Amino acid sequence: MNLGALRDEIVYVKNYMDVQYFAEIGIGSPPQHFAVVFDTASSNLWVPSSKCIFSIACYLRSKYRSRLSTTYTKIGNRSKIPFGTRSVRGFFSQDNVKVGSSVINQQVFTEVTREGFFTFLSARYDGVLGLGFQDVAAERVTPVWYNMLLQRIVTQPIFSLWLNRDPKSRFGGEILFGGVDSTHFRGQHTYVPVAQNGYWEIEIGDVVIGNNSTGLCKGGCPAIVDTGTSFLAGPTTILTQINHAIGAEGFVSMECKTVFSNYGNMIWENLVSGLQPERICHRIGICTRNGTFDVSHVKEKMEARSSKLEKLPNDESGLCSFCEMTVFWMQVELRKETTKEKTFEYVNQLCEKLPDPQGKSYINCDVFSLPHITITIGNKPFPLSPDQYLIRVEDNHDTRCLSGFTALDVHPRRPLWVLGDVFLRAYHTVFDFGNLQVGFAESA
């Protein structure tokens, strides 16, 4: 047992091309080693099982073999854990888990027997160690982080994260359980409260492109701080504006242009007349619902096209979403007193900059020509420079740049953001479990 052995625990992580961060843990006695993502948006620990024989992805991973461990305890209950847009399945087991130099005794985890091949085809890790809250853990099992506190392994109920920008460095970053490493940040942390039980969710304010406010989150938007997501994700409405500003080449949406060309004048006239923006698309006959602002169907529409499903040209929900985005974009320009001609030109350009079906957009690697993108947290601006939001990838000995922003539409009424590794590389982050708050300071 670790009773009385209070201290901090440092875990060094590896950086794979700025898109995957993972570290090694051990399970069992003697320890069987696994590369896992430390994920603040989930709460379970899972690794592939030796009994995973029908999933091709398992053959590419290290597998847990219970018969080789002297501290294994059988549980056997079935387990299903959401992961991204899919899930992994298996059964619960119990064994000792080594994190850093510390051993967590009798930790319940999932032996995965089914995992999607395409989900993990390019993954350099074996499994996931969730650092989220027990409220969202499958079957409410006690997470590893909780047991580190219960077994008195760490000094304080906090952990902090620093990610290294240099993918060629020996260390890709570090997670410090029980403390904060002052060598990895500048100034003071800005703390904001956790807004929802179950997730490391905070509220962000205005999102600014260069010196121009997008206006969507001035009243506050929820944002999940997610160490398991590579990009900075946000609603399609805003990500399209960002793509336009930084010159990203994305998915050309004919539906968007169709709505704009057929209904642009009516939308403009209704806005100028003072009609509530959220009612315009219903009034002109595109949306059947009235008074809601929902762009969540846009992503589904793109994914359907990318998977070559039958196109539904009269799909009301998709056209409605494009109409609502057009209303929002026009409303922003009207507030700036932009002329109708320039507004229409701008909206047409935005239609061309909708993200591609996979949510990725390529961008010019010339950082000097690109604007800063700023997110407001705790009434303080947190800017991202072009060098920070570009992801450089090697493609046949040629360097290409990906936009670090990707579209994610999951919430029907309040635009949801995910502050992934693109943001977390720029800002050292403290997850204060004791006071239910998250702190950000400039990384050093």
Map out the domains of the chain as residue ranges: 9-177, 193-240+368-443, 254-352
Task: State the Rg of the chain over Cα.
Answer: 23
Q: CA 69, CA 82: separation in Å to the nearest integer?
A: 27
In CATH, what class is 193-240+368-443? mainly beta
Q: How far apart are CA 198 and CA 206, in angstroms?
A: 24
Token duo for residue 105: 């005794």
Whether this prediction's pTM lies above 0.95 is answered by no
Burial class (CB in 10 A: 0-12, 13-18, 19+), 280: buried
d(CA 126, CA 143): 18
Tokens of 438: 């998250």
Strands 405-407 and 232-234 come out as parallel
Q: Residue for token digits 């499994």?
A: 127
pLDDT tens per residue, range 124-159: 788 999 999 999 899 999 999 999 999 999 989 999
What's the rounded Cα separation, in Å, for the pair 91 and 89? 7
3-state helix, strand, coil split of the chain in percent (to 5) is: 25, 35, 35
H-assigned helices in 25-79: 56-59
What does the alpha-carbon distance between residue 113 and residue 110 come to, in Å, rounded to a whole number?
Answer: 9
Using CA atoms, how far residue 329 sits from 209, 292, 319, 347, 350, in Å, is 14, 16, 15, 7, 9
The reply to whether 9-177 and 193-240+368-443 are identical in fold is: yes
Q: Give yes or no for a contact between 228 and 419, defined as CB atoms under 8 angstroms apart.
A: no
Q: What is the pLDDT along the chain (444 residues), one digit of tens a residue?
A: 333 345 678 888 877 776 678 899 999 999 999 999 999 999 999 999 999 887 777 777 899 999 999 999 999 899 888 776 667 889 999 999 999 999 999 999 999 998 764 455 556 788 999 999 999 899 999 999 999 999 999 989 999 999 988 767 788 899 999 999 999 999 999 999 999 878 899 999 999 999 989 887 888 999 999 998 888 988 888 888 887 788 776 544 556 777 888 889 999 999 999 898 888 988 888 887 654 444 433 333 333 333 322 232 334 456 777 888 889 889 888 888 899 999 998 888 888 767 554 456 677 787 888 899 999 999 999 999 999 998 887 766 677 788 888 887 765 566 789 999 999 999 999 999 999 999 999 999
Q: What angle do CA 59, 63, 64 make, to 5 degrees?
A: 160
The 3 state secondary structure assigned to 150-165 is HCCCECCCEEEEEECC
Distance CA 175, CA 430 (A): 10
Helical packing angle, 297-306 and 316-335, nearest 10°? 120
Active-site residue set? 39, 226
254 backbone dihedrals φ, ψ, rounded to 5°: -70, -30
- Domain 9-177: homologous superfamily in CATH: Acid Proteases (2.40.70.10)
What 8-state DSSP symbol labels residue 140? G
- The CA distance from 154 to 152, in Å, is 6
Tokens at 342, concatenated = 């320039």
